[in-house]
Amino acid sequence: MKHIHIVALAAVLVLGMAACQKEDNLPVPEEEPSVDEAVGFDENGASLALFSVAEGHTVRFSRGNLQHQPSTGLWRFAEKQYDTIGADNVAYLQYFGTNTNYNRWIDLFTFYIDGSGLVISTHRKNSDMPEDTNVVDWAWHNAIQNGGNKAYFWRTLTKDEWRYLLQERPNAVYKRGDATVDGVNGMVILPDEWTRPSSLAFNHGFHNYGSNVYTKEEWQLMQEAGAIFLPAEGCFNGENIYGPHEYGFYWTSTIVYYAQEQSYYTNHMCFSGRGVIDIRVHYCYLYGYAVRPVLDELQL
């Protein structure tokens, strides 16, 4: 009897081992490819690709739009190029940038928020361009956590640099276009040297956000090739977010003084899916626009 029990137990063990082996031989489900949000950027968050903003002068774009947490005074870049914050900006900006206890992040900025503690900055900035001595600059004065974490490193493009980049550099018209990335509308800017990923298309120009549509995996290939994406977040117009998903408003660092009014104003760049690229003076201190910093090539 005892012998029979031993044989039965051995049979169970053999069957169990066979079952385990059979399970081990089952096909392993394929994992979805991971998306490296930092691909195409260095350890400081600067693009590996170069962009001409004047003849003989190139810059590297930051990995995402600038963000700020008022309660801590911290600054950082968005993790993804297509990240936007949206309504959280309104809750803070309606306080005119004075609610220092606000602990959420914002990514639309008025003159009141530039890291200098002044309503509008007129600081002298280290620059080889004489006309660039008086600026308002949300990036220049601040240590950016995932951007090298030191002040006087990143900066905001001037109005003339935005104009050259988008309208005047060689083949400028072929190096920009609207796009939708993972459901977010915006504008793509291609670097000076560009090789399109063979599996993807890029149609220059503006097509009401209907032509260049990329998944986050497809955008990773574009980003690795050097493409920059500016999300169309709209702007804070003193009350709410105006034109989200349609307009992109980005500050320049160039200010203008109107002696008759004894007031300073600054310039901004604007685009939409209908092809509007406008670089002009803005007259309202209460409006909040996005900031996309750059790093001069020689600083790397």
More confident residue, 294 or 130: 294
Report the alpha-carbon distance of residue 300 to residue 284 in Å, rounded. Answer: 35
Q: Are 251 and 156 in contact (CB under 8 A)?
A: yes
Q: Are 270 and 278 in contact (CB under 8 A)?
A: yes
Query: Which residues partner with 62 through β-bridges?
Result: 46
Task: Work out the pLDDT band at 141, boundaries 50, 70, 90.
Answer: confident
Q: What is the pLDDT of residues 168-220, one digit of tens each?
A: 999 999 999 999 999 999 999 999 999 999 999 999 999 999 999 999 999 99
Q: Are 226 and 48 in contact (CB under 8 A)?
A: yes
Tell me, yes or no, whether 227 lies in a domain: yes
Q: What SS3 class is residue 274?
A: coil
For the chain, how many structural domains are there in total? 1
Q: What SS3 class is residue 19?
A: helix
Task: Work out the pLDDT band at 133, boundaries 50, 70, 90.
Answer: very low
Tell me, yes or no, whether 5 lies in a domain: no
Burial call 152-172: b when 16+ CB within 10 Å, e when fewer? ebbbbbbbbbbbbbbeebeeb
Percent over 70 (pLDDT), the chain: 76
Tokens read off for 182: 């993972």
Strands 176-181 and 213-214: parallel
Q: What is the pLDDT of residues 78-100, one digit of tens each?
A: 999 999 999 889 988 877 656 67
Predicted pLDDT of residue 118: 40
Q: Are 196 and 226 in contact (CB under 8 A)?
A: no
Tell me, yes or no, whether 40 lies in a domain: no
| Structural element, H or E, at residue 90 | helix 88-93
Q: Are 63 and 45 in contact (CB under 8 A)?
A: yes
The one-letter code for the residue type at 157 is L
More confident residue, 126 or 40: 40
Tell me, yes or no, whether 34 lies in a domain: no
Residue 75 has pLDDT above 70, yes or no: yes
Task: Work out the pLDDT band at 234, boundaries 50, 70, 90.
Answer: very high
Q: What is the pLDDT of residues 199-208, one digit of tens each?
A: 999 999 999 9
CA-based torsion, 223, 227, 228, 232: positive or negative: negative
Predicted pLDDT of residue 93: 83
Predicted pLDDT of residue 55: 94
| Cα angle for residues 278, 284, 287 (degrees, 5° grid) | 80
Predicted pLDDT of residue 285: 67
CA-based torsion, 82, 272, 205, 66: positive or negative: negative
Predicted pLDDT of residue 71: 87
Which of 161, 133, 196 lies closest to 296 in space, CA to CA?
A: 161
Predicted pLDDT of residue 283: 67
Tell me, yes or no, whether 283 lies in a domain: yes
Query: Which residues partner with 67 through β-bridges?
Result: 76
Q: What is the pLDDT of residues 4-50, one digit of tens each?
A: 444 443 444 344 444 444 444 555 555 555 677 889 999 999 999 99
Tell me, yes or no, whether 10 lies in a domain: no
Predicted pLDDT of residue 114: 55
**What is the model's pTM?**
0.83
Structural domain including 185 reads: 51-299
Q: Are 209 and 178 in contact (CB under 8 A)?
A: yes
